[in-house]
Amino acid sequence: MLQLAVEGDDLFDVSQIELQRPSPSYTYDTLQELRQSQATERPIDLIIGADMLAAVLEHEPTWDSLPRYVPTNRSPAGKRSTEDFDAWVGEWYTELSPEPFEVLLRSGSALVLDDVDSVDVGSIGSYNILAWKRRGMVGVVTNANARDTDEIETEGVPLYFRGVGRGIRPGRNQIESVNRPVVCGGVLVIPGDVIVADGDGVVVVPRAVAEGVARYARTILDIDKAGRRELYRELGLPDDPSVE
């Protein structure tokens, strides 16, 4: 499917790893629909990894068939009265950047957000992350930033993110899709995968192998705990949760 999507274009090459990936590809069907519905002499191609389009303008283009690049048809706030600005903010939150994924959260859910990693887009703050926790979410992983970090730490919601930001969503962020495969921090994450995170970082375990990985990891952990318990005894240290 991926090979068909870029056929005839010498600028693209598809690796065997991508061709053999077992997960579904949405590229081919979308491309075929566009080619059938659009009567044009220009070639219609899809950019693989379109969730990273914010970085397109940072590079020199190597193609000459792109007439223009339009990131959004929504204008920035500009100069407005306070009343107009408040209405503009409300419209953006409700129509362009809502959080339809919230209803999917349940006890034990980990939320992975693939966002723009080089812009202060303001997707995560102390209010919405606490609302997600209320629905049973156990932690958030994102390749972007977050604000209100003092409050989030006080709330006790685990958050793994790129850095501290300040902005809010209106004028910066629009929802693209929910519950689809994403690439976050260079790692493919598919809905249903298992997220393991601690002070050392984040690991994504594919759902298909999660049970076997858990059994093996438990064996390693039990061996490690037993060894450290012996050292605790020799040093006269009381047991703590890390060795229990």
Mean pLDDT score across all residues of the chain: 79
Average pLDDT over residues 44-68: 49
C-beta neighbour count of 216 within 10 angstroms: 11
User: Closest Cα partner for 113 from 80, 148, 75, 139?
Assistant: 139
For the chain, first and last CA: distance in Å? Answer: 50
Provide the pairing of β-strand 139-142 with 159-160. parallel
What is the residue whose two structure tokens read 């049973």? Answer: 136
Question: How far is the C-alpha of 209 from the C-alpha of 149, rounded, in Å?
Answer: 34
Which residues are paired to 121 by β-bridges?
none
The one-letter code for the residue type at 105 is: L
Average pLDDT over residues 174-197: 90
Q: What is the pLDDT of residues 6-29, one digit of tens each?
A: 455 554 455 555 556 565 554 555
Provide the pairing of β-strand 194-198 with 201-205. antiparallel
Do the Cβ atoms of 158 and 138 come closer than 8 Å?
yes
The one-letter code for the residue type at 44 is: I
> Is the per-residue pLDDT at 187 higher than 50?
yes
> Is the per-residue pLDDT at 241 higher than 60?
yes
The one-letter code for the residue type at 171 is: G
pLDDT score for 8: 55
Question: Is the model more confident about 159 or about 169?
Answer: 159
